[in-house]
């Protein structure tokens, strides 16, 4: 039995080497043919001056045309292939059940104190993406209920820019920091972690845009925002070794996350109003700046929807 195996291996080796030899021979023959062709072209030139080696020229032209066609076809094929490949690459990140998303939303508010081994992070982007869009919708809703005049395009653009900018920008920055601090986390996991961390922001802003009490906002900011931040910090701590690294990583993330919520609540409207003023000129007729009085009906409706959402979650 053993000898047969050895024979097989030897055969494999020889077959491999014979293939290589064939390849080399083929290459050599090709080169010789080309040299011959060049020689013939040269001979033609010597024989007949005005003939200008047409044979060689024609060969080159044919080769160039074939080359260009091949390159063009290859480019188109690779473009189509890469599109399908990219869609396939993204598919697993969005393949998730609604039940899982709901569970992860709830988990994003519950910090787990488990430091000895790395906590699991879902490498999924459906929930985070939906939360970012929800945050955009809440910001637009907040702008509409405040005394800003609605100019849809600019508002939509700034809201999307702010939310996606924070999500992608801070994720990239934190991933870079994590790389420096030797934390075990991938970019997708970072995006997922931070995306689900925005759930607290969504709840806080939805409640405080509809019920205008500063003390209530601060309570929500500390409790809800604090819980979602603690959850992310706990996960990062479990994936990082070394006290200094943990301090740098978690301190930065906590500061950025909590400050972003403060910014959205206090400064965002002012900033957008500033942008709108610079775009359209500050000298607006005074009668246009009318505070929007929300009718009691819509207030009741929004409260009941908020309650319904709370119950379903």
pLDDT in tens, 40-78: 544 444 445 455 566 677 778 888 888 888 888 888 777
Residue 271: per-residue pLDDT: 83
- Mean pLDDT rounded to a whole number for the chain: 77
Residue 188: per-residue pLDDT: 93
Q: Is 193 exposed, middle or buried (0-12, 13-18, 19+ CB in 10 A)?
A: buried
**Are the C-beta atoms of residues 168 and 296 closer than 8 Å to each other?**
no
Residue 13: per-residue pLDDT: 46
Residue 20: per-residue pLDDT: 46
Between the two ends of the chain, the Cα-to-Cα distance in Å is 66
Whole-Å CA distances, 222 to 55, 126, 217, 251, 269: 84, 27, 9, 16, 21
**Are the C-beta atoms of residues 269 and 146 closer than 8 Å to each other?**
yes
Q: Helix 187-210 crosses helix 152-180 at what angle (to 10 degrees)?
A: 140
Has residue 14 got a pLDDT over 50?
A: no
User: Percent of the chain having pLDDT more than 70?
Assistant: 69
Has residue 87 got a pLDDT over 60?
A: yes
**Are the C-beta atoms of residues 44 and 54 closer than 8 Å to each other?**
yes
Residue 83: per-residue pLDDT: 72
Q: Residues with Cβ < 8 Å from 125, sequence gap 6 or more? A: 93, 94, 188, 191, 192, 195
For 101-129, letters b (16+ CB in 10 Å) and e give: beebbeebbebeeeeeebeebbebbbbbb
Segments making up each domain of the chain, as ranges: 66-95, 119-279
Has residue 305 got a pLDDT over 80?
A: no
CA distance 199 to 229: 10
Residue 211: per-residue pLDDT: 84
Residue 311: per-residue pLDDT: 61
For residues 107 and 277, the model is more confident at 107
Q: Is 95 exposed, middle or buried (0-12, 13-18, 19+ CB in 10 A)?
A: exposed
Residue 203: per-residue pLDDT: 94
Q: What are phi and psi of 113, to 5 degrees?
A: -90, 90
CA distance 122 to 237: 16
Considering only CA atoms, which of 225, 297, 210, 293 is closest in space to residue 261?
225
138-147, 182-191, 211-220: lowest mean pLDDT where?
A: 138-147
CA distance 138 to 207: 10
pLDDT band at 252; cut points 50, 70, 90: very high
Q: Helix 98-107 crosses helix 187-210 at what angle (to 10 degrees)?
A: 80
Q: Residues with Cβ < 8 Å from 227, sequence gap 6 or more? A: 109, 110, 111, 200
Whole-Å CA distances, 236 to 86, 115, 285: 29, 9, 52
CA distance 250 to 178: 10
Residue 312: per-residue pLDDT: 55
């Amino acid at each position: 039995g053993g000898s047969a195996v050895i024979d097989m291996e030897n055969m494999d080796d020889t077959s491999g080497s014979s293939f290589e030899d064939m390849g080399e021979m083929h290459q050599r023959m090709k080169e010789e043919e080309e040299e011959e062709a060049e020689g013939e072209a040269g001979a033609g030139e010597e024989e007949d001056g005005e003939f200008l080696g047409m044979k060689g020229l024609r060969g080159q032209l044919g080769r160039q045309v074939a080359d260009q066609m091949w390159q063009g076809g290859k480019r188109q094929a690779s473009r189509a292939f890469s599109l399908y490949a990219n869609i396939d690459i993204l598919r697993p990140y969005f393949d998730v059940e609604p039940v899982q998303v709901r569970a992860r939303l709830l988990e994003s508010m519950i910090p787990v104190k488990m430091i000895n081994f790395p906590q699991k992070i879902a490498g999924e982007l459906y929930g985070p993406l939906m939360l970012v869009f929800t945050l955009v919708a809440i910001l637009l809703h907040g702008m509409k209920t405040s005394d800003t005049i609605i100019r849809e395009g600019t508002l939509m653009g700034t809201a999307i820019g702010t939310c996606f900018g924070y999500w992608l920008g801070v994720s990239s920055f934190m991933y870079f920091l994590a790389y420096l601090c030797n934390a075990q986390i991938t970019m997708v996991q970072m995006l997922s972690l931070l995306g689900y961390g925005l759930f607290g922001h969504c709840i806080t802003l939805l409640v405080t845009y509809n019920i205008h009490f500063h003390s209530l906002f601060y309570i929500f900011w500390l409790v809800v925002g604090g819980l979602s931040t603690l959850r992310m910090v706990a996960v990062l701590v479990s994936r990082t070794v070394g006290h200094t690294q943990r301090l740098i990583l978690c301190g930065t993330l906590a500061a950025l996350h909590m400050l972003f919520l403060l910014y959205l609540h206090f400064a965002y409207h002012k900033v957008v109003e500033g942008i709108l003023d610079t775009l359209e000129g500050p000298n607006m007729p005074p009668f246009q700046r009318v505070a929007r009085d929300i009718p009691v009906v819509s207030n009741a409706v929004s409260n009941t929807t908020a309650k319904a959402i709370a119950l379903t979650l």
